[in-house]
Structure 1
Amino acid sequence: MEAQHRISTNRLADNAGDQILLERLADAVKPNLPQSAHHLPWLLASPFRYGFGRPSRFRAAHMMPGIFYASEKVETAITEAAYWRLLGFSRSPGFQKPRTPTPMSAFSVGTESLRALDLTQGALAKDSALWTHPSDYSATQALGATAREAGIELLRAPSARAKDGVNVAILDPAALRPPPRPHSSWAFTLNGDTLIATQELGARAMRFTTADFGL
């Protein structure tokens, strides 16, 4: 996640009371949070609130609630985030890209469910090409809708962006086991059509280009 959440509202308020009021006003115009997510901290609950009108891999447009997408390894999550960031800029001609690194925070959370589907094993793995198509989400959205109707809480699926990566789509907040835990901090730096993700206080760095993703 982008680390701007730490300063996105307090710089608009003069004191703590004004900030609380600002947050309440903002909450009043947000989409409703599903009842099943009310017990979750905002970091875990927010994905279920948003997405109306905008499709995702396992959820068609105009269908709520949203879906919590995660990755089993941080490298997969970084790759997924890099893809969407480069895609957004590639579709915004003339937009001035950030000149300074963007701070990103990775966190981890536990999951547990007796009602899950694993698309990486068994008969479902035979249709891997459908689950990982780079742009056609019709098969995955149909699967997601059917899974929700059947009471499935969690989908484990191969990543379409990271080779050998595995993602997890949480359809039901009941599959999450809070609290979220800090994992690592990263800086995303853009240089032309290239994005470099560098771990803060670490030696790891990952490089991505629009060509890597076929953009």
Structure 2
Amino acid sequence: MTGSPPWGEDWFGTAAHAGRELWRGVEAQHRVATMRLVDSLQDLELLEQLLESSKPPLPRESRGLHYLLATPFRYAAPWPSRFRWPHESGAWYGADEPRTVAAELAYWRWRFLLDSDGLVQEQLVTEYTFLQARFAGRELDLTMPPWASRRHLWRDPQDYTACHRLAHRVRGDARLSIAALRYESARREFAACEVVFSAVNLTLAAPNAQQTWVCKTTRDLVLFTREREALEFRP
């Protein structure tokens, strides 16, 4: 990383303690796939044990957490995300509202469909669990001044260079004591998202709020539905 960073060192002084109720969406399709492989409860328990033993060990700080909170910290994915380099330790992404979660997921489902030659003319139907969690810790809010003056960098739809550079600084400098970044969604204008870098700053909301959404993806639109709600996105 060369050149001057797109922020001033004094900007980090705006970090402050925050408490947030955040939503995250996780694909639930694995339940159906697992059930297709077993014929009894004993088989199911054995299969789950085998699957668990094949996974990387949970970081110490993630042990005892609900798996939907702990899983993102378990894996170092080979592809990047907005505030995480490839193969870097995990980060937990959430948003203030379920609609924002759906907008973010819709974009990536659509991208997956278009990038798959055998699927581009098909439709994909998947099920998601939306889970609400509570964040508490020191937060840097990129939607507020002076960080908001670089809004075009933090929500660039394709280029994550500035975001990676900032996350690297925050995660690598213990003196800053910043556990999360708050930022504007690139897929839903003016909607707030949060990336949390440490599992110790997350707990399940009480009561544990969950929603089940069904997602239908075609090359022209992505549709999320639950009960009497429907959200349509046209990438």
TM above 0.5, yes or no, is yes
Deviations 1:95-127 (A, max 9, x none): 2666574322222111111x2111111211111
SS in structure 2 of the partner of residue 122 of structure 1? coil
Equivalent position of 2:189 in the other structure: 163
Query: 136, 144, 163: which one pairs with 1:140?
Result: 163
Letter in 2 for 1:74: P
Label 1:62 to 1:190 Cα distance change in 2 as closer, same or farther (>3 A).
closer
SS of equivalent residue, structure 1 residue 121: coil
Instruction: For structure 1, list consecutive stretches of 5 or more residues without a partner in the other structure.
Output: none
Task: Count matched residues.
Answer: 206
In the other structure, the counterpart of 1:67 is: 91
1:187 alignment counterpart: 214
2:66 maps to 1:27? no
Change beyond 3 A, Cα 1:3–1:57: same
* 1:52 Cα deviation from its structure 2 partner: 2.7
8 Å CA contact 1:97, 1:190 repeated in 2: no
**What amino acid maps onto 1:75 in structure 2?**
R
Over the aligned positions, Cα root-mean-square deviation in angstroms equals: 2.0
Which of 109, 113, 127 is equivalent to 2:133? Answer: 109
1:125 to 148, 161, 167: 148
- The residue aligned with 1:11 is 36
Three-state SS of the structure 1 residue aligned to 2:134 is strand
Q: How does 1:35-114 map to 2 (within 5 A)?
A: 35-64=60-89, 66-95=90-119, 99=123, 101-113=125-137
Amino acid of the structure 2 residue aligned with 1:160: A
Deviations 1:11-41 (A, max 9, x none): 3123222222222221222223211111201
- Contact 2:142/2:183 (8 A) holds in 1: yes
Judge conservation of contact 1:41–1:179 (CA < 8 Å) in 2: no
> Secondary structure, in 3 states, of the residue corresponding to 1:12?
coil
Identity of aligned residues (%): 33
> Counterpart of 1:196?
223
Q: Aligned equivalents of 2:205 and 2:58: distance in 1?
A: 18
Secondary structure, counterpart of 1:56 in structure 2:
coil
TM-score, structure 1 as length reference = 0.87
- Please say if residues 72 and 166 of structure 1, whose CA atoms lie closer than 8 Å, have aligned partners that are also in contact: yes
- Contact conserved, 2:59 with 2:74, CA < 8 A, in 1? yes
Contact 1:153 1:174 in 2 (8 A): no
- Contact kept? 1:119, 1:156, Cα under 8 Å: yes
Q: Deviations over 1:21-73 (max 9, x none)?
A: 22222122222321111120111111111243221110101211x11101101
Alignment partner of 2:36: what SS?
helix
Change (3 A) 1:192 1:53: closer
In 1, Cα distance between equivalents of 2:128 and 2:79: 23
Which structure 1 residue ranges, 4+ long, deviate > 6 Å from structure 2?
none
Unaligned 5+ runs, structure 2: 1-25
Relative to 1, partners in 2 of residues 1:191 and 1:32: Cα closer, same or farther, differing over 3 Å? same
User: What TM-score, normalized to structure 2?
Assistant: 0.80
Shift of 1:189: 1.8
